[in-house]
Amino acid sequence: MNYAETTSIRTIVPVSVPCTLDQMPGTTTLHSLSALLEHPEFQRGLAEADEAFLEAYEPAPLTEEEMVEEIEMNIGRWVTERTKILDRVYGYAPSSYLCNLGFVVGMINKGLTYAQ
């Protein structure tokens, strides 16, 4: 089973009293992502996404289908393997997986900014 098969969108999380950010569930996750967010290759991907978003999309929120497509077309296993081969054939410097991951997160993030 993958993550989506083991979780439920319908999970009810009771909240009885207001809490601070440090007390919120998931805060540990945010802290543990700091190494990823600070990694130079991940940051490079974020910056590239910021520049590329309007070349690929209208200035509007991304649909769920567009988000899934970004993931599949940029960090899926077959795309990653194919890109490595093409980079070698054409003599390009290979892009790191962290850069690609940053690009996907950046594209989705940019699309979500239009939803606010």
User: Of 107, 113, 94, which Cα lies nearest the Cα of 45?
Assistant: 107
pLDDT at 6: 37
Range of the structural domain that residue 65 is part of: 39-116
Is residue 27 situated within a structural domain? no
Using one digit for the tens of pLDDT, what is the confidence trace for 6-39? Answer: 334 433 444 444 444 455 555 566 677 899 999 9
pLDDT at 21: 46
Is residue 51 situated within a structural domain? yes
State pTM to two decimals: 0.71
Is residue 26 situated within a structural domain? no
For tokens 């600070």, what's the residue?
38
Q: Give every CB contact of residue 25 below 8 A, 6+ residues apart in sequence.
A: 13
Q: Helix, strand, or coil here: 95? A: coil
Is residue 61 situated within a structural domain? yes
Is residue 62 situated within a structural domain? yes
Is residue 32 situated within a structural domain? no
Is residue 2 situated within a structural domain? no
Contact 114, 66 (CB under 8 A): no
Using one digit for the tens of pLDDT, what is the confidence trace for 44-92? Answer: 999 999 999 999 999 999 999 999 999 999 999 999 899 999 999 999 9
Is residue 30 situated within a structural domain? no
The pair phi, psi for residue 27, each rounded to 5°, is -60, -35
Query: How far apart, in whole angstroms, are the C-alpha atoms of residue 72 and residue 37?
Result: 21
Total structural domains within the chain: 1
